[in-house]
Structure 1
Amino acid sequence: MLGPKKTMLTTVSHHSPGEVLKNFRAIQKLRIELPGGELGVEDGVLLRWKAEFGSTLESCVILGAAAHVNPEAEREKKVNKFEFGRSWFSQNRSDDRVVPETTDNVLFPSEDDSGSLPESFYTNGGLKLRVVWTISSLIAASARHFLLQQIISEHPTLKNLVLMDTDGQGMLCMGKEQLEDFRHKPLAASASANRTQVPALNMKLWYAPYLELPGGTGLKGATLVAIKPSDQPVRKEVDGFIAGAFEEPFKTAVSLLSKRRTYFLEMNSF
């Protein structure tokens, strides 16, 4: 009996979620897990997003970092490199310059940690990279939202829907009221792709050059972006959504970042 069951699962895995669910009735809660995230990021880069949708985007939070590191491993690697450099310098120097006696200055480059964005953030492409992360995450979220049309229309009893991926990269959430909103309002599709149109947005951005997280890891160039449509009033629920968007250790990262200086941005509909 194990053989046929495995064959059946293999066949089903090639169908869309709508096809798989067509024989089910009275579904109230549904959680769909995609085989992987849509966003291709370089090794070591952290990018996570969570979005709420009704008929359109209601809120989104994005956590990104240039590197998710283990400080002890980084320290050991850089100390070894430092010791090699000091040994080479001692053997080859031709003057009386003093060889540094500590490695503190080579472990993590010092940056302005006052809460302000460093000047280099604007000149070395740091801000541009964060904008790319934001747009890419919104496109991924709106594409997932667009794909849910068939499932939502065919399952009127659905009260809670979550669409995530095995990489833990992104999560789209819809509750009872949001699903009703989706069913009764026309979907604004993007003219350029199979995704929902992203409305004009107001965004808050927080940045830290380095954050230490529970479990001994850290984030370099940590960035938090909170997003809502420009035409929607600020809701208290949004603060709760941001605070609870991710599990530990990233929940701590969100808490630490949200206490820092806030930067405001706007984005046109696309």
Structure 2
Amino acid sequence: MSPSVSVWPDHQLVDHFDRLPDSLLLLVFNKIGDVKALGRCCVVSRRFHSLVPQVENVVVRVDCVISDDDSSSSSSSSSASSSSDKSRNPFSNIFRFVFFGTIVKPFQFLTQFLGGPRRPSSSGLSSSSSSLFLAEDGEADQGGVTHHSPTQVLKNFNEVRFLRIELPSGELGIEDGVLLKWRADFGSTLDNCVILGASSVVYAAKNANDNCADGFCANNGGGGGGGDDNGSIPESFYTNGGLKLRVVWTISSLIAASARHYLLQPIISEHKTLDNLVLTDADGQGVLCMNRDQLEELRVKPLSASSASKRTQVPALNMRLWYAPQLELPGGITLKGATLVAIRPSEQSMVAMARKEVSDVSWVSTAFEEPYGTAAKMLVKRRTYCLEMNSF
């Protein structure tokens, strides 16, 4: 491709970019989006340098996540470790598992569920992201790497409206073959959260006898919902660890979401022009979303931080759970032990009940992209189980 320079009769060099209006160049920069590419554009010319800070659509892809402990002294690390130990089990005696208001299973033994050691994430860091801060790989400096947080990088942008931050991977370390996805909406605190999980995902048809999940074997029946189980949770689900696993998934996802929300506060405070903010990860494990009203709510009403760790306090919650031993999705995908959990603060649930909106689950079935959106739509048609959880 020939350079954008022409030789005129008077032998003067002309830069064709000078002929383009600023509005058109900004349109190009907004299509680029990526903060690193925009940084390189800044050094091209003074004009580019003055225009890039006006970009409205910015994507920050984080190269690494660094634990606070890595830069702390040994005493500080010991203190952080102690705090972490205290925060590992803040959930004893906070659950009630009910079916349409009737207590089905007691949860006095929840402490035993969560008191044991946790499996570390694939990155080798704690499964709780509350002690982490984000870092973006910078320019090489004397053989090393300079790291900048998204907050530092975004200080150069004055007109950001749509911001997407992408972590290198999800915080929750899960076994291979296990599906765990969540989406959470926040204002100054949690507005809602949807969690989709499965004990295993099968992408090709297996032996017809191999259709058991969580200790319960279901007849396909062509319905994709577990055959003749009538939407009920089998008794074995309570005794073989299936329920324990779902409790851990739910609490871990809420902790990950509230930790991400906590980290976003300085960015939200400094960028008053934001209309939409998404914090996700390359694995597609979790997505945190905030719209303009929610962003403004956080600026007006500061978040309430958890005393145990660097995360936003989670309010008292009402939850609805749907379960299918086996769920067949389009494209030959089968979810075994499929579970969907819809979460809202108790105050919102009471308002919805007063307005007779309890049956509205449209926000749940649209939380995930395909094929998992179809899974959510199939699960909400099954029997609903209700849970309650105190603030933590």
Normalised TM-score (structure 1) = 0.83
Q: Distance in 2 between matches of 1:243 and 1:258?
A: 8
> Which aligned pairs between 1:200-219 and structure 2 lie closer than 5 A?
200-219=316-335
**Residue aligning to 1:100:** none
Letter paired with 1:254: A
- Which deviations, in whole Å up to 9, do the C-alpha atoms of 1:129-178 show, x marking residues without a partner? 10100000000000000000110000011111000000000000000110
**Residue aligning to 2:308:** 192
Aligned alpha-carbon RMSD (Å): 2.1
Contact 2:177 2:200 in 1 (8 A): yes
1:175 aligns to 2:297 (yes or no):
no
Q: Distance in 2 between matches of 1:248 and 1:113?
A: 25
1:155 aligns to 2:271 (yes or no):
yes
**Residue aligning to 1:46:** 179
Letter paired with 2:320: K
Residue 241 of structure 1, CA deviation = 2.4
Q: Distance in 1 between matches of 2:286 and 2:211?
A: 29
1:257 aligns to 2:384 (yes or no):
no
Of structures 1 and 2, the one scoring higher in RCO (CA 8 A, sep 6+) is 1
1:11 aligns to 2:138 (yes or no):
yes
Residue 239 of structure 1, CA deviation = 3.0
1:120 aligns to 2:120 (yes or no):
no
Residue 244 of structure 1, CA deviation = 1.2
Residue 59 of structure 1, aligned match among 186, 189, 192: 192
Contact 2:137 2:148 in 1 (8 A): no
Equivalent residue pairs, number = 236
Q: Distance in 1 between matches of 2:362 and 2:327?
A: 21
**Residue aligning to 2:336:** 220
Distance 1:185 1:10, change over 3 A: closer
- Which deviations, in whole Å up to 9, do the C-alpha atoms of 1:164-220 show, x marking residues without a partner? 000000000000110010000021000010000000000000000000011111100
SS in structure 2 of the partner of residue 14 of structure 1:
strand
Unaligned runs of 5+ in 1: 76-103
Residue 133 of structure 1, aligned match among 246, 249, 253: 249
Contact 2:193 2:343 in 1 (8 A): yes
Q: Which has the higher helix share?
A: 1
Q: Distance in 2 between matches of 1:67 and 1:130?
A: 13
SS in structure 1 of the partner of residue 253 of structure 2:
helix
**Residue aligning to 2:170:** 37
SS in structure 1 of the partner of residue 332 of structure 2:
coil
The answer to which of 242-251 and 256-265 deviates more is 242-251
Residue 245 of structure 1, aligned match among 367, 370, 373: 367
- Which deviations, in whole Å up to 9, do the C-alpha atoms of 1:212-265 show, x marking residues without a partner? 011111100000000000011228697332121111110110000000000000
Letter paired with 1:250: Y
Letter paired with 1:107: D
Normalised TM-score (structure 2) = 0.58
Residue 107 of structure 1, aligned match among 196, 210, 216: 210
Letter paired with 2:288: L
Q: Which has the higher strand share?
A: 2
Contact 2:277 2:291 in 1 (8 A): yes
Q: Distance in 1 between matches of 2:137 and 2:255?
A: 29
- Which deviations, in whole Å up to 9, do the C-alpha atoms of 1:103-125 show, x marking residues without a partner? x4x33232362200000001111
The answer to which of 184-193 and 238-247 deviates more is 238-247
Q: Distance in 2 between matches of 1:44 and 1:126?
A: 16
Residue 22 of structure 1, CA deviation = 0.6
Q: How much identity, in percent, do the aligned residues show?
A: 65
Letter paired with 1:31: R
Q: Distance in 2 between matches of 1:149 and 1:241?
A: 25
Contact 2:261 2:312 in 1 (8 A): yes
